[in-house]
Structure 1
Amino acid sequence: MSTSQKVVVVTGASQGIGAETVKAFRKLDYRIVATARSIAPSDDPNIVTVAGDIADPATARRVIAEGVARFGRIDTLVNNAGVFIAKPFTSYTSEDYAVMTGVNLNGFFYITQLAIAEMEKNNSGHVVSITTTLADHAIDGVPSVLASLTKGGLNAATKSLAIEYAKRGIRANAVSPGIIKSPMHSAETHGALGALHPMGHMGEMSDIVNAILYLDAAPFVTGEILHVDGGQSAGH
Structure 2
Amino acid sequence: MSTQQKVAVITGASRGIGAALVRAYRDRGYRVVATARSIKPSKDDGILVVPGDITERKTAERTISEGIARFGRIDSLVNNAGIFISRPFTQYTQADYADILGVNIAGFFHITQLAVAEMEKHGSGHVVQITTSMDEHADARVPAVLAALTKGGLNAATKSLAIEYAKRGIRVNAVAPGPVKSSMHPPETHRELGDLLPLGQMGEVSDVVDAVLYLESASFVTGEILHVDGGQSAGH
Q: TM-score range by the shorter chain?
A: over 0.9
Write the letter of the residue equivalent to 1:226: L
Name the SS of the counterpart of 1:234 in structure 2: coil
Write the letter of the residue equivalent to 1:60: A
> 1:82 maps to which residue?
82
- List structure 1 segments (4+ residues) > 6 angstroms apart after TM superposition: none
Residue 65 of structure 1 deviates from its aligned partner by: 0.4
Write the letter of the residue equivalent to 1:90: T
Matches of 1:93 and 1:182, distance apart in 2 = 25
Matches of 2:186 and 2:159, distance apart in 1 = 34
Per-residue CA distance 1:129-156 (angstroms, 9 max, x = gap) = 0000111111121011000000000000
Where do residues 62-211 of structure 1 align in structure 2 (5 Å cutoff)? Answer: 62-211=62-211
> 1:6 maps to which residue?
6
Matches of 2:11 and 2:86, distance apart in 1 = 22
| 5+ long unaligned stretches in structure 2 | none
Corresponding residue pairs, total: 236
Matches of 1:85 and 1:231, distance apart in 2 = 22
Equivalent pairs: percent with the same residue? 69
Name the SS of the counterpart of 2:233 in structure 1: helix
Residue 189 of structure 1 deviates from its aligned partner by: 1.1
Residue 105 of structure 1 deviates from its aligned partner by: 0.1
> 2:230 maps to which residue?
230
Write the letter of the residue equivalent to 2:11: T
> 2:37 maps to which residue?
37
| 5+ long unaligned stretches in structure 1 | none
Name the SS of the counterpart of 1:133 in structure 2: coil
Q: TM-score, normalised by structure 1?
A: 0.99
Write the letter of the residue equivalent to 1:106: A
Write the letter of the residue equivalent to 2:137: H
> 1:213 maps to which residue?
213
